[in-house]
Structure 1
Amino acid sequence: MISRRTAAFIKLCGLLRRIEENRDDLALVKKLNMALLKEILRDEAHILQQRATLQDLKRRLKKERPTREEARQLRKKIDKAGARIAAYFDQIFVWKSIGDGLAYAYISSFNIKHVFFDTTSMDPKPDPGFISGKAGLDNEKLFLLSAIRHGVPAVLCDITNVLRFGDICLLGASDPYPIEVKSRKQLNQRGQRQADKLEKLHKFLAEDYAADFRGSPEVRRSELAVPVRDHLDVLNDCIRSAKEDGYSLVCPEPGLTYWAIYQPGPLPPLDELAAEQPVVVILNLDKTDRNWAPYLPFVNSIRDPAAVLDFLTDKLTIVVAIELAVLCDKLTMPGWSVSFLEHHDLAILFEDPQSGARWAVSRQFFGRLAFEFLSVEWFAEHEKAMVTNVNSDAVAGMGSPVDGGVTADMTAYLDQIPKIITRSQPAQ
């Protein structure tokens, strides 16, 4: 976070808090949209200016045959220009995180994730790039203001990290509703592909089903099996204690630990974490790598705007530790084994040796425990309910038939994934 914009950041975080407290105040929604757009356009202008400076410095270094000292000074200036560009990109990520926060103030993170991932794979849809110079920006602003005048909360997609479809996203229903605002009547090939993807996404969100979607023959969406439970209050208490004492370590439930550490200050007592095989997530690293979406933004989970700023500037470090042995124990069911996997996409595998049934949990979903500070107990209850429900449907012959070859290939693939820890429970 660039120091001269910290006051603006605190002000915009406070505006987000006011919206969360009164979601019917759409004047605040309009104000936050316009303020974030202004900040992002300001930083993009700085980046374009620094890029021009960088290009000129590199040209001079290459073409003007400078002396050794002149070349050293040019390289020093090149490094500074590159660092400034990176700092402005980091700051744009911060502004867009507040834009994400506006979207998440209205839409559940379990629903909003669908506008982050592509329709052809489980990869994130590419970021649209700069707003500056965008031909249709004036039309998008007019559409946004029209939606707000008609009583519908909305956000410009380009002022967010997570909304990758459309130009405007309406936030008045349980699902996000992205809309493409056309700047011209005729669509080129790229525009038509984007429109086709958006139509497919709308159809999936409306019907909770899609064929040939995100790399799978078919995808179905179901409600959460158990209402979500989190420990956001515990997290924020932990942060307040750390501000006073230098660090705070809390265990909101068995198998889950939060550390909040302020610097300078004493190091946390690492030996207090008596864990067999913990997964330790240092959330500052993912923030620095701009690797947070589609989870609940940190501007929503950390409630004090000053503490959010401390987190952004790494004065505050937040660590989440999840004990795999405890988690797997909670996930076991009679007749099933459960394993935590060493895999980039899959985290947990349920197996029923008797029937051969299997159920895998993605890394993305598992990550919610750390990034959204969810309850381990809730996670276990939800996944066991999902496995039970899906397995019951399969036994009853419900659902679409699965090709035997696909099943065999998937079984072989799952068999070769290394397992970090496994727990099982005999059938009753």
Structure 2
Amino acid sequence: MDSSQVLARDRWVIGVVERTSLIKLVLWTHTLQHDPGRLDLLLPMQVHLVARIRRNEARLSRLKACRADLVRALKTGRPAKEHANALRGDLNQVEGAIGQAQRRLRMWRNFGDAIAHIYQNKYSLKHLCLDAETNHLKPSAGSLSGKTGFANEWALLKQALEHGVPAVLCDLTNVLRFGDLCLLAGQEPFVMECKSSARLNSRGKRQAIQQKKLMDFLANDGAVEYAGMPNVTRRALATQEVTYSAQLDACITAFGTDACAPVSPEPGLTYTLLHADITRHELQALVNEPPLSTLSWLVDGTDEHWCLFYPFLLSLSPANALTFLSGSLLLLVQINLDVLCACFATHGVTAKPLLDGEHALELTRVGKPPSEGIFWLSERLLARIVFEQQSLTWFAAEHARCLTEPFPAPPGGWREAVPPVFIRDKLDRALADDLPPAAVGSSGPEIEQQD
């Protein structure tokens, strides 16, 4: 098929049928959130999601086939310069359309994420999209279209619902990247494999090992070793989480009258809503305006990182969730790191920004050297301020406990272990900043890490 025909057919436009499905799903999600006992909604919601996802997978497949044709024409056809430039232009457009199709798939799977978060804790669910060996994001869901074994998954889903057990197909979510079906009735999410054969290939065996490691970790609130780290333990929050979701919801309600007026719910934290068609120059001006110590995040309703966080479908009103989901607006969140570090200081903790791609902050006790206690907070944890509208003041108070209160021991008790290389390197650098070079050894005290 000609690339122009494919692009015309697969442009990013939400049609009447899709918008009707979006409205139904938003309203059903809102109803289910306020009445989790409405299990009768779970099957029709997933029927809609299967239909929408399969339709968009077909769109994505056509676009990828078109991209392959264009690449082949450029590599093997030896077109004239003018024709080659035209082909490259078409290829750029197709690449953009592929990105749009992938964002639309994430859009539909946001509803599956909402189902999971209605019944399960967000801090448990995040582990289901992370590799149990490396703690990196696992690949997103595969294709539903033509999937062998889907009939078995669907039959088990219906069986669970008939027995009063809330459940969701993992492929209908962004967050559930283990197993095929997730049962949501217990203390922790329980994922199941729905294999048509009892025999496992090498990949299936690796998945089974990872899945068991994950289930044991969740059941025991820790492990002797998990995700490449020794002595891993989970600890409940000490205080009620403070967020500004209501303030953001009010901003979206007022959006359009003064679209770029920033709102600051507390010192050091700013939300700015922007039209999706904002120019790069206008955006750069907004980002460059605050102090140099300010971090800026720009997110929309189909951001690929939402899988790690509480869904906005559950924190915004139905109308505003639909607006944000449709992609008509962007959210710019800005955090003043000087203010955040000052919040930690009020709890006797010195916070040093790192932002090295893994960890956001290095915490030590005020007036104490790193050798007497050091803790690193991950960039994922800091991003909860952005995606979940957490308060800076609350964030600092809660996570200062990493140094001021003892951690519960992992199952089997603490054991001596050599931290991974990247942790040892961080520790060496921290000690080198605080001590004379001759006093810095090649190893240090056992450390704790939270992400």
| Counterpart AA for 1:283 | V
2: CA distance, partners of 1:187 / 1:404: 34
For residues 150-169 of structure 1, the aligned pairs below 5 Å read 150-169=163-182
Q: Counterpart in 2 of 1:19?
A: 32
Which blocks of at least 5 consecutive residues in structure 1 are unaligned?
419-428
Of 13, 20, 29 in structure 2, the residue corresponding to residue 2 of structure 1 is: 13
1: CA distance, partners of 2:89 / 2:14: 22
Residue 229 of structure 1 aligns to a residue whose secondary structure is coil
For residues 29-428 of structure 1, the aligned pairs below 5 Å read 29-56=42-69, 59=72, 78-262=91-275, 277-284=293-300, 290-305=304-319, 307-312=320-325, 314-332=327-345, 336-352=349-365, 353=368, 356-390=372-406, 400-403=414-417, 411-415=427-431
Confirm or deny: 8 A CA contact 2:345 2:351 kept in the other structure: yes
Confirm or deny: 8 A CA contact 1:120 1:214 kept in the other structure: yes
Q: Counterpart in 1 of 2:9?
A: none
| Counterpart AA for 2:185 | G
Tell me how far 1:288 sits from its aligned partner: 5.9
Confirm or deny: 8 A CA contact 1:333 1:384 kept in the other structure: no
1: CA distance, partners of 2:117 / 2:419: 40
1: CA distance, partners of 2:381 / 2:346: 20
1: CA distance, partners of 2:293 / 2:92: 42
Tell me how far 1:192 sits from its aligned partner: 1.1
Residue 244 of structure 1 aligns to a residue whose secondary structure is coil
Q: Say how many residue pairs are matched.
A: 411
Tell me how far 1:335 sits from its aligned partner: 5.7
1: CA distance, partners of 2:98 / 2:307: 22
In terms of mean alpha carbon deviation, does 17-26 or 82-91 score higher?
Answer: 82-91
Per the alignment, do residues 159 and 409 of structure 1 end up closer, same or farther by CA in structure 2, a change over 3 Å counting?
same
Percent sequence identity is 32
Residue 64 of structure 2 aligns to a residue whose secondary structure is helix
User: How large is the Cα RMSD of the aligned pairs?
Assistant: 3.3
Tell me how far 1:63 sits from its aligned partner: 6.0
In terms of mean alpha carbon deviation, does 75-84 or 174-183 score higher?
Answer: 75-84
Residue 293 of structure 1 aligns to a residue whose secondary structure is helix
| Counterpart AA for 1:194 | Q
Q: Counterpart in 1 of 2:449?
A: none
Which blocks of at least 5 consecutive residues in structure 2 are unaligned?
1-11, 435-451
Per the alignment, do residues 401 and 410 of structure 1 end up closer, same or farther by CA in structure 2, a change over 3 Å counting?
farther
| Counterpart AA for 2:315 | S
Residue 338 of structure 1 aligns to a residue whose secondary structure is strand
Q: TM-score, length-normalised on structure 2?
A: 0.81
Q: Counterpart in 2 of 1:425?
A: none
Tell me how far 1:202 sits from its aligned partner: 0.8
In terms of mean alpha carbon deviation, does 365-374 or 74-83 score higher?
Answer: 74-83
Q: Deviations over 1:351-394 (max 9, x none)?
A: 13256211111111111011100111221121123322227x79
Per the alignment, do residues 171 and 3 of structure 1 end up closer, same or farther by CA in structure 2, a change over 3 Å counting?
same
Per the alignment, do residues 122 and 60 of structure 1 end up closer, same or farther by CA in structure 2, a change over 3 Å counting?
closer
In terms of mean alpha carbon deviation, does 122-131 or 246-255 score higher?
Answer: 246-255
| Counterpart AA for 2:143 | F
Confirm or deny: 8 A CA contact 2:373 2:403 kept in the other structure: no
